Structures are given as C-alpha cells and as structure tokens.
C-alpha cells in the first residue's frame, strides 16, 4: 500500500494558497508581478503615444462622414478608447508571457527551496534538469505559445472559438513551463517524462483552470504566480507519489524473490 497521497488539483490549489501565508514565498512571488505590471503600464502608454498621431487622422476622417449629433456626443473619443482597449487585448499574450518568464527565471528558483524544506522535506534531490535546461524549456514553450496564439486569431469570426483557443494556448504554456520549473532541482529527466505522461490530464486541467483566471480583472495580474505555485505543489506531490510507487514495486518484487528462493 503506497503511503503517499496521489496528487490532486484541489490539493495543489489548497497547498498554493497556504504557501502564500509564508512571507518569503509571497514576497518572491509578488515582486516580479508588480515589476512586470509597472513595466507594461509604461510600455503600453508609451506605445499608445507613438501610435496615436498615426491613428488620429483616420479617426477624424471617419468622423467627418458622421451626422452632427454623433460628432457632438464625442464618437471620435469613444473610438479612440475602443482602439486603446483593442491594443491592450492584442498585447495580452505578450504581457502574460512576460510575467511567466520573469516568474520562471526568478520567483520559482527563489521560492522552490523554501517550499521543499517546508512541505516536502523528505524529497531526495537527484541528478535533475537544472536551471539552464528549465529556462530552455520555458523559451521553447514561449515561442510555441506565441505562434499558436497569433494563429488562433484566424478563428475570430467563430463565436467563442478564439477564447477557447487562447485558453488552450495558455494552459499549454502553464503546464510546459511551470511543471519543469517545479521539478528542475529534484527530478531526473526520466521522472519528469513519467510525471508528464502519468498525470497528463490533470496537469492540463490545472493549466486550464489557471488560464481562466487571466480573464478575471485584477486577479489576472496574479494569475501567473498562482499558476506557478499550483504546478510546484502538484509536480512535487507527483514526484513523491511515483517514487513511493517505485519503492512499493521494489519491495513487492523483493518479497516475491524471497518467497521463490525459500521454496
């Protein structure tokens, strides 16, 4: 009988929320989010200042074709606001990706030792991927994410299709990036592959659940950090589980060998 509980999405979420009560963890998870948010606020308004002079003549030309009552209510201003919102929507994948890369490169390496010491003290560190390899995985996953995110705009005129496509892209990014980051210091390459294969479905839905958070105002700013914590806890729990499973199989085989030799 395996004495380690099988990982579940619910337990991963619960453990993630409990981790946020630790001052060190919440600090290292939140400062990259704040930094990324401030950076993108500046970049967004800087980009809009550059684009506005090019857009304004077309808006004014369009306004001249409208009735006076529409001009009086400020249609040009409303149109500029709509264009600002569209620019923000177009930048969303790049903004989210920025947060993911910052968290992957800085937050996870800084918080992982604390989480392991606190919640997984018996977990043995083996010859693992390491930071550089996990960063490579992050960059490859980022390029794949961007490619399919852009391609998915071809589904724009199919109701809800683009939203579903974007959720799947974000779920893929969360799973591909944060799982490897979580296992980078303690799991072997073989163990990483086993976990990805054995828990493929729950890992995808964990990524999808966190992807849904990106559509919720305010919460979406912290969605990448929450996703990272969820995958850290799920990944480490899965690692404990497959090692306990291997130990149980070895014990069973040893017992069978002893029985055979004694007979």
Residue 43 belongs to some domain of the structure: no
Question: Looking at the 3D structure of the chain, how many domains does it have?
Answer: 1
Residue 258 scores a pLDDT above 80: no
Residue 47 belongs to some domain of the structure: no
Burial class (CB within 10 angstroms; exposed 0-12, middle 13-18, buried 19+) of 41: exposed
Residue 102 belongs to some domain of the structure: yes
Residue 13 belongs to some domain of the structure: yes
Burial class (CB within 10 angstroms; exposed 0-12, middle 13-18, buried 19+) of 119: middle
Distance in angstroms (rounded) separating the CA atoms of residues 100 and 177:
8
Q: What is the reported pLDDT for 239? A: 94
Residue 113 belongs to some domain of the structure: yes
Q: Given the structure tokens 């999808």, which residue do they identify?
A: 208
Structure tokens at 154: 């071809």
Tens of pLDDT, residue by residue over 42-78, are 887 887 777 777 777 766 666 666 666 555 555 666 7
Give 16's pLDDT tier (boundaries 50, 70, 90). very high
Q: What is the reported pLDDT for 238? A: 94
Tens of pLDDT, residue by residue over 117-163, are 999 998 888 877 777 778 888 888 888 998 888 888 787 778 778 88
Q: Residue 163: which domain range? A: 9-32+94-262
Q: For residues 226-248, give the mean pLDDT.
A: 92
List the one residue out of 127, 129, 123 whose CA is nearest residue 240.
123
Residue 221 belongs to some domain of the structure: yes
Q: Are 13 and 230 in contact (CB under 8 A)?
A: yes
Q: For residues 90-101, give the mean pLDDT.
A: 82
pLDDT > 90: what percent of the chain? 30
Give 173's pLDDT tier (boundaries 50, 70, 90). very high
Burial class (CB within 10 angstroms; exposed 0-12, middle 13-18, buried 19+) of 142: buried
Distance in angstroms (rounded) separating the CA atoms of residues 7 and 5:
6
Residue ranges of alpha helices (H) inside the chain are 9-19, 23-64, 68-72, 75-102, 108-119, 131-151, 161-183, 189-198, 200-212, 219-262
Residue 27 belongs to some domain of the structure: yes
Residue 26 belongs to some domain of the structure: yes
- The 8-class DSSP code of residue 105 comes to I
Highest mean pLDDT among 83-92, 136-145, 156-165, 192-201 belongs to 192-201
Distance in angstroms (rounded) separating the CA atoms of residues 174 and 207:
5
Q: Which has more confidence, 173 or 70?
A: 173
Secondary structure of residue 103 in the 3-state scheme: helix
- Phi, psi for 106 (deg, rounded to 5): -120, -55
């Amino acid at each position: 009988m395996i004495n380690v509980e099988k990982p579940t999405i619910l337990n991963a979420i619960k453990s993630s929320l409990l981790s946020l009560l630790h001052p060190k963890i919440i600090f290292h998870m939140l400062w990259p989010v704040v930094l990324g948010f401030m950076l993108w606020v500046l970049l967004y308004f800087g980009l809009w200042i550059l684009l506005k002079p090019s857009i304004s003549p077309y808006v004014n030309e369009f306004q001249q074709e409208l009735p006076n009552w529409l001009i009086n209510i400020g249609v040009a201003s409303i149109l500029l606001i709509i264009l600002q919102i569209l620019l923000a929507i177009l930048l969303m994948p790049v903004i989210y990706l920025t947060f993911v890369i910052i968290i992957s490169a800085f937050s996870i390496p800084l918080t992982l030792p604390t989480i392991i010491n606190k919640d997984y003290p018996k977990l043995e560190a083996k010859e693992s991927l390491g930071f550089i390899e996990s960063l490579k995985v992050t960059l490859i996953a980022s390029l794949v994410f961007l490619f399919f995110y852009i391609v998915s705009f071809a589904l724009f005129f199919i109701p809800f299709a683009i939203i579903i496509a974007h959720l799947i892209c974000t779920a893929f990014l969360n799973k591909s990036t944060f799982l490897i980051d979580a296992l980078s210091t303690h799991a072997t390459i073989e163990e990483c592959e086993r976990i990805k294969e054995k828990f493929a479905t729950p890992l995808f839905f964990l990524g999808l659940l966190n992807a849904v958070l990106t559509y919720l105002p305010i919460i979406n700013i912290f969605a990448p950090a929450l996703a990272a914590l969820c995958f850290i806890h799920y990944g480490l729990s899965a690692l404990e589980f497959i090692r306990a499973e291997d130990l149980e199989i070895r014990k069973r085989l040893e017992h069978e060998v002893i029985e055979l030799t004694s007979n």
